[in-house]
Amino acid sequence: MKKIFFALLGLILLPIVAVTFESFFFSISRIQKIDSGFWYFLAGAGIFVLLSRWGFLKRLYVFSHEWSHALFSWVMGGKIRKIKVTERSGWARVTFTNFLVELAPYFFPLLAVFFSLLYFISIVLKPSFKVYQQIYFGALGFSLLLHFQGNYQALKIKQSDLASKGRFFSLIFISWVNVLFLFFFVKLVFWKTVSLTVFFRRIVFGLQKAWQYVNMFNN
């Protein structure tokens, strides 16, 4: 019964995900000037590609994966009992779980969020730290590619994290939240040329249009 409920929820999410993706691609298509930060972002991603077969990076992904489970459980009132990380696998023992805790590693880019918080807290406390912005963009490119490549490898095999709510709903939800995070980071890199207002306004417009089509069929 629970899987049926989440399957129906996935169907409801489908048009929201579709218009979110459309708004994302529309927003990046309007980028006319490549800011210097993009090249540092790209360099960070390139460094990841060069080092992608290094065993440490696999362990780093597993580390971020298990700590994402743990962090979401802790935020929701659970306790972290134990976390184990190896190069190929790991686990997090927590006292509370739900679908957000189970899916957190797949939609929450832990290291990218960590680097962002570290950078912005640093420049609030000491504005002169803005000189390290290029390093931050490089770390962002590196950590986001780690997140997406690690998830791609993980989702190719059957994951128990997706089982309880069904793979259909899980993949739709993961895709939706990932594109929201990706837009947020693109906005940081292209601060002057990517508009939050346009992005969310286009989502609302797309949902209104979808609702009009539903009403047409009902009539």
Tens digit of pLDDT for each residue in 169-184? 999 999 999 999 999 9
Is the pLDDT higher at 151 or at 56?
A: 151
Phi, psi of 81 (to 5 degrees): -85, -50
Residue 190 has pLDDT above 80, yes or no: yes
Residue 218 has pLDDT above 70, yes or no: no
- Mean per-residue pLDDT, 73-82: 95
Question: If you average pLDDT over every residue of the chain, what do you get?
Answer: 90
pLDDT tens readout for residues 4-38: 888 899 999 999 999 999 999 999 998 888 878 89
Rounded to two decimals, the pTM is: 0.91
pLDDT tens readout for residues 59-71: 999 999 999 999 9
Q: In Å, what is the CA distance from 163 to each residue of 7, 86, 170?
A: 12, 23, 9
Q: Which pairs with CB-CB distance under 8 Å and at least 24 residues apart come from 47-55?
A: 47/138, 47/142, 48/141, 48/142, 48/145, 48/146, 48/149, 49/145, 52/149, 55/87
Per-residue confidence at 151, pLDDT binned at 50, 70, 90? very high
Phi, psi of 158 (to 5 degrees): -70, 125
pLDDT tens readout for residues 103-142: 999 999 999 999 999 999 999 998 888 889 999 999 999 9
pLDDT tens readout for residues 154-165: 888 877 888 888
pLDDT tens readout for residues 32-69: 888 788 999 999 999 999 998 787 888 999 999 999 99
Residue 101 has pLDDT above 90, yes or no: yes
What's the confidence (pLDDT) of residue 142? 97
Residues 6+ apart with CB under 8 A from 156: none
Angle (nearest 5°) at CA 180 between 33 and 21: 75
